[in-house]
């Protein structure tokens, strides 16, 4: 284990603290930020809160809702984990970030790896969507899925370039930083301290990550994506690469949606039909080669993520 003051603290207590702080903030802060944003835009507070469940009835509040989403994500998944590291890990930010040791080639490899993985993951996306749950569970899961899709479609209706750029910040940049800092960084590290096994830590953090999104019909592909991000952190000891991977996944999706909406590309990335298996096989090989290449560029021995 890495010799630091943090290792003397009970990892179960640390895990409980970060979960309560982060998810407690995620539950409470939307109410506060909805009130503040409603004052800023001159809208009724009830309209702003209602718009999250019935967004189609409030098209004029799309920017306001995205602002609430931005402030909530920033608070719960960026500021809270940073506070946790500052307060409970004695400001040991080097456990997660190593800005003086970023390899541009490895960053490019990470980006290409994620793009290849997105193609492969399409198989699991379609498979997971077609899983037959018991009727009672399926009804609830489908309702949650449908509500999430309505809100996602609402946010990704890019009517102006400024709104699209703001969406990149809210949906790609902030989650890439915050969710990786929380799930791959703090939570994965605490699970590693509890289990003593890197693979257990990666996969449990990936399960937490996927569960957090409350989308049962997308649980497996999101879990696999989380595991990929986790191993990037494990083999590099630098959360920057996981953040890059997360940003590429979200940002590329948003870019393709924008281009499709404006008739610049014919391919609809939101189409859930599986890519031909021949293509999946090719991209699986490409992804495996890129992952091995990334691994060889890194030195897993002595990385903070493995301690």
- CA angle 200/204/208 to nearest 5° reads 170
* Residue spans of the chain under pLDDT 50: 1-7, 301-302, 304-307
CB count within 10 Å of CB 44 equals 10
pLDDT computed for residue 143 by the predictor = 81
DSSP the chain: ---SGGGGS-HHHHHHHHHHHHHHHHHHHHHHHHHHHHHHHT--HHHHHHHTT-GGG-GGGHHHHHHHHHHHHHIIIIIHHHHHHHHHSTT-GGGT--GGG--HHHHHHHHHHHHHHHHHHHHHHHHHHT----HHHHHHHHHHHHHHHHHHHHHT---SHHHHHHHIIIIIIHHHHHHIIIIIIIIHHHHHHHH--HHHHHHHHHHHHHHHTT-GGGHHHHHHHHHHHHHHHHHHS-HHHHHHHHHHHHHHHHHHHHHHHTTS-S--TT--SPPPHHHHHHHHHHHHHHHHHHHHHS--TT-GGG-
Q: Which of 294, 167, 168 is nearest to 240 (CA)?
A: 294
pLDDT at 7: 46
| Cβ neighbours of 161 (radius 10 Å) | 10
Q: What is the pLDDT of residue 306?
A: 45
Query: What local confidence, expressed as pLDDT, does residue 99 receive?
Result: 86
When divided into structural domains, the chain yields a total of 1
For residue 265, what are the domain limits?
Answer: 5-306
Backbone φ and ψ of 107, nearest 5°: -65, -40
pLDDT score recorded for residue 250: 97
Predicted pLDDT of residue 1? 35
Note the pLDDT of residue 274: 67
């Amino acid at each position: 284990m890495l010799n630091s003051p943090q290792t003397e603290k009970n990892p179960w207590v640390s895990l409980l603290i970060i979960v309560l702080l982060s998810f407690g903030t995620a539950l409470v802060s939307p109410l506060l930020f909805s009130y503040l944003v409603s004052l800023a835009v001159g809208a009724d507070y009830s309209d702003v809160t209602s718009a999250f469940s019935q967004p189609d009835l409030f098209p004029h509040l799309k920017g306001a809702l995205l602002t609430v989403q931005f402030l909530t994500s920033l608070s719960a998944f960026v500021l809270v984990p940073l506070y946790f590291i500052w307060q409970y890990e004695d400001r040991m930010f080097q456990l997660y970030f190593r800005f003086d040791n970023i390899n541009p080639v490895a960053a490019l490899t990470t980006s290409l790896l994620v793009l290849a993985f997105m193609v492969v993951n399409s198989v699991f996306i379609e498979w997971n969507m077609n899983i037959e749950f018991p009727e009672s569970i399926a009804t609830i899961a489908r309702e949650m899925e449908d509500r999430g899709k309505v809100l996602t479609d609402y946010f990704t209706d890019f009517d102006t370039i400024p709104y699209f750029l703001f969406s990149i910040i809210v949906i790609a940049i902030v989650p890439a930083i915050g969710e990786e800092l929380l799930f791959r960084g703090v939570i994965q590290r605490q699970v590693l301290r509890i289990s003593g096994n890197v693979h257990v830590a990666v996969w449990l953090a990936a399960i937490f990550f996927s569960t957090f999104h409350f989308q049962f019909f997308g649980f497996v592909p999101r879990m696999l994506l989380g595991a990929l991000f986790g191993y990037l952190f494990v083999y590099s000891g630098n959360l920057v690469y996981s953040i890059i991977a997360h940003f590429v996944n979200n940002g590329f999706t948003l870019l393709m949606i924008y281009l499709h909406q404006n008739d610049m590309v014919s391919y609809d990335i939101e189409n859930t039909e599986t890519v031909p298996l021949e293509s999946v096989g090719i991209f699986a090989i490409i992804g495996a080669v890129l992952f091995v290449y990334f691994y060889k560029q890194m030195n897993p021995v002595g990385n903070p993520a493995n301690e």
